[in-house]
Amino acid sequence: MSQNWLPKHPNLKVNAPLVDQQPPETRTQRRRLRACHECDWIAALPPLKSGEKACCPRCSHVLVKRNRYPAQRSMALAMASLIALLLAVSYPFVSFSYSGVSNRIELAETATTLIAFHQPLVAIGVIMTIVVLPAVYLIGTLWLQYGLLRNAPLPFSRSTARSLSHLTPWMMADVFIVGALVSLIKVAGLADIELGLSFWAFCVFAFLLLMTVQSIDADWMWFALEGEPLAPEGTLTGASAASQQLTSCPTCGLINRLAPNGKHYCVRCHERLHPRFPHSVQRTWALLAAAAIMYIPANVFPIMTTTSLGNSSPSTIVGGIVELIQGGSWPIAGVIFVASIIVPVGKLFALAWLCSVANRSDAFNAQTRTTLYRITEFIGRWSMVDVFVVAILVALIRADSLMTINPGPAALAFGAVVVLTMLAAMTFDPRLLWDTPITKYTGQGDARKEVMNG
């Protein structure tokens, strides 16, 4: 096997695997250590077979999940996803007919139409989250996995691999599908709706994109790209990384020793490292305060205005929910209520509470509060449903004087709430919840191995 593709890092002890033939743990005689990103506990990774995952023995966070033929699977899914996305942007998305007046839109018009109504920031947010960022992610995946399959990583592979994890939270194709279904159900009682090829292609794209993200085996990928150096000498399992002046890379998972009085970068992927996110609680409080302020105009001002036969009817988020209930659309009203009221308000209160108790936990409460943090981080992006509903209805309902829908100022404010709460969840460091009870935990030093569902 040719060795000339190996990374030129003389300070790293690098293996030269043929990607996808055997997992990393079968190609090294030493234990591979990981520090949990959520509780900072150091554990040794057990040998894993395809379909298994290793979980932190302290907080149950997934440290590594193993897939069969990860490079081939990711590349095939990414290619299929790009084809589906190309079809989705090339054909009509949906059309409607109302009293002899019809309109047909393409996927990109859900964003470009907003620019005509002086909502460029909302338009940029829509097109970036449903088309641009997913396309960049898929192209990056193809670039990366193709190089690994050739046993000759392409230029910028390390930077590309590092970027993939940062893009994942901002891709919202699946949320857009829910928004599209809500929009179409709202319009179905007023006009005739016809779904185009683009709609079905985008549904397939959203599913394939989700499968592509799930297929990435980051542990295997980084091992194939850059090998894996030995853990710092003297690293102990069954203890926190911070207590040993160590930290785990949030991107590639490698344990690094923190140099005193200096900036820290991962020796494998060059990601910036912190023992704890700098001023995590303070930054989270600031983002939450900004989100709470923006949530006021998001509910006071109309999110869209419906004009029918010359009569304009502005609608706030709460007003739209009430109208849906009065019209008998209880399921749709429930979806909007959860996405636009329960989720953002719940995130604000949950993160505020976590910030207030971060430095006064015990071992039992730390586990419960970490679970709350995971839920909060997961649900945040689903609040974008209301913004997508507005984008679709504004583009679709253009029937001149018979009926039109215009976006309201609340759309930008509510979009800002979603982004700010997502950033707040990313800024909060869940390891702070475990710093106080470090000495109270008596768990094992090896990660727990589980079989993945599905």
Q: Where are the domains of the chain?
A: 69-273, 279-432
Q: How confident is the model at residue 26 (pLDDT cuts 50, 70, 90)?
A: low
Q: How far apart are CA 55 and CA 374, in angstroms?
A: 15
- Amino acid identity of residue 260, one-letter, is P
Average pLDDT over residues 256-272: 83
Average pLDDT over residues 49-77: 88
Which long-range contacts does 271-274 make (Cβ < 8 Å, 24+ apart)?
271/162, 273/247, 273/249, 274/247
- Please count the CA atoms within 13 angstroms of the CA of 187 that sit on its side-chain side: 32
Contact 15, 226 (CB under 8 A): no
Q: What is the predicted pLDDT for the residue at 364? A: 65
Contact 298, 292 (CB under 8 A): no
Provide the mean pLDDT of the chain: 84
Q: How confident is the model at residue 417 (pLDDT cuts 50, 70, 90)?
A: very high
Residue 363, CA distances (Å) to 113, 313, 370 in order: 52, 53, 11
Rounded to the nearest angstrom, the gap between the alpha carbon of residue 406 and the centroid of all alpha carbons in its chain is 29
Grouping H, G, I as helix, E, B as strand and the rest as coil, residue 316 is coil
| H/E segment holding residue 115 | helix 109-116
Q: Is the pLDDT of residue 213 over 90?
A: yes
Q: Is the pLDDT of residue 63 over 80?
A: yes
pTM recorded for the entire structure: 0.86
Q: How confident is the model at residue 152 (pLDDT cuts 50, 70, 90)?
A: confident
pLDDT tens digit sequence for 382-405: 989 989 998 998 888 876 666 788
Grouping H, G, I as helix, E, B as strand and the rest as coil, residue 151 is coil
Contact 39, 366 (CB under 8 A): yes
Residue 79, CA distances (Å) to 68, 85, 282, 313, 398 in order: 18, 10, 42, 45, 35
Q: How far apart are CA 97 and CA 205, in angstroms?
A: 27
Contact 206, 174 (CB under 8 A): yes
Look up residue 244 and give its DSSP letter: G
pLDDT tens digit sequence for 353-365: 999 988 776 666 8
Residue 42, Ramachandran bin (φ over 0: left; ψ between -120 and 50: alpha; else beta) = beta
Q: Is the domain defined by 279-432 classed in CATH 1.20.140?
A: yes
Q: How confident is the model at residue 27 (pLDDT cuts 50, 70, 90)?
A: low
**175, two tokens:** 């949320």
